[in-house]
Amino acid sequence: MTDSRDELEDFRAEARAWLEQNFPKSLAGRGGAMMRSESIDESESEALDWAKRLGEKGWGTPTWPAEYGGGGLTQLQAQALHQEMDRARAFNPLIRTTGMGITMVGPTILEYGTEDQKQRHIPKICRGEVFWSLGYSEPNAGSDLASLSTRAEDVGDHWVVNGQKTWTSGADISDWCGVLVRTDFKAEKRDGISFLMIDMHQPGVETRPIRLIGGASPFCETFFNDARAEKNEMLGELNAGWTVGKRLLQHERASQTGATSGMGGGARRSLRDVAREYAGVDGDGRLADADLRSRLTAHMMDAKSHSLTLARVTAEARGSAKVSAAASILKNAASLVAQQRAELIVEMMGHNGLGWEGEGFSPEELDAVRAWLSGKAMSIYGGSAEIQNNIIAKNILGLPENTQRG
């Protein structure tokens, strides 16, 4: 489906009017801080109401098929919606209420799932009703994920799962978890893995939150002790989980490129405003610190280049939702740009950028410091920068494989 200019402008007007009527003005600009929270509680009635409205409209998952509860929009319509949400300083709360559901699990179910799995899981993700986590990394299987040892044994009418996962984001509040398990214990390590979807509300699952330097505890240790997984909850074919798992990671990396920034919290405070407030200006209205001025300009150029590259990649996709290895390039670039921005903000704040807690700092200053601390993980999670470089070398530059196949 293609969009004429008139059709696209008609849709933009529709989106702007709908946001004007449905997005609570009190939430404007609050998305960035709210998205770093671990869950939405009952006290946040306006956020819950906004999530319900967006989910019922299908615009929390704008390009997903309407038959499963998505918006059924084209890529260009979705881009226009993102822009209008930025203009309204709105955000997509379903990214928060579904955990890994929208960014990773849902797209993978749409691609590999049976019709029954799509009908049971996708509508609930579209409405923001189910929180998903992912059981990938283990204490002895991080970057070498295929070394995982969590086992799933076939006992006839279901699977019995035993093992430990770590860095399981949101496991303690999740309803479902997509777990990579070993189902063939004699096969080569990348050939004996399957992808199971496990109900987290059962006695065989235990979670322990891990406290992070940024103050939040979104990650967990997760233990499966004779946990049950139904036979109809295997995503993809038996022992083909490595393929499914890699595809999901492509979706994760695509979600970390900044391509969906318009759905994550609206316009942020500009670096210019932060610089003027904390660093000071000279008699001509320029930043007094020439070195800072130069570095700030270089960063803004990097950020703009990244934004334009994302726009070009989107245009070249011609409406296709397919995720390519180019996501690894964009993921690394997005991590670098975000980390540079956080470093500059904390530097410009000076002593005000030293606070982790306490009354001597404004909420914006504390938020900036915690974002700087938590942002250090951006070049690690979703596959480290080094792993992305390996993918780029092999799949884009065509350099020879120097590890195991797959």
pLDDT of residue 311: 73
Predicted TM-score (pTM) of this structure? 0.78
Query: What confidence score (pLDDT) does residue 405 get?
Result: 47
- What is residue 2's predicted lDDT score, i.e. its pLDDT? 57
For the segment 179-185, the average pLDDT, to the nearest whole number, is: 96
- Predicted confidence band at 37 (pLDDT cuts at 50, 70, 90)? very low
CA distance 322 to 343: 33
Write down the pLDDT at residue 316.
66
How far apart (Å, rounded) are the C-alpha atoms in residues 157 and 135? 22
For the segment 330-366, what is each residue's pLDDT rounded down to a tens digit? 888 888 888 999 999 999 999 998 888 888 898 888 8
Q: What percent of the chain has pLDDT over 90?
A: 50
DSSP symbols for 90-127: -B-THHHHSBTIIIIIHHHHHHH--HHHHHHHHHHHHT
Of the candidates 252, 343, 357, 401, the residue annotated as catalytic is 252
The answer to whether residue 266 scores a pLDDT higher than 50 is no
- pLDDT value at position 263? 41
Query: What integer pLDDT is reported at residue 255 of this predicted model?
Result: 65
pLDDT at 35: 47
pLDDT tens, 76-95?
Answer: 899 899 999 999 999 999 98
Q: In degrees, to the nearest 5, what angle opens at C-alpha 31 toward C-alphas 118 and 18?
A: 70
Is-catalytic flag, 38?
no
Rounded-to-integer distance, Cα 328 and Cα 249, Å: 10
pLDDT of 397 above 50:
yes
Which residue ranges form the domains of the chain, and what is each CATH number?
5-126 (1.10.540.10), 132-236 (2.40.110.10), 269-396 (1.20.140.10)
How high does pLDDT run on average in the chain?
86
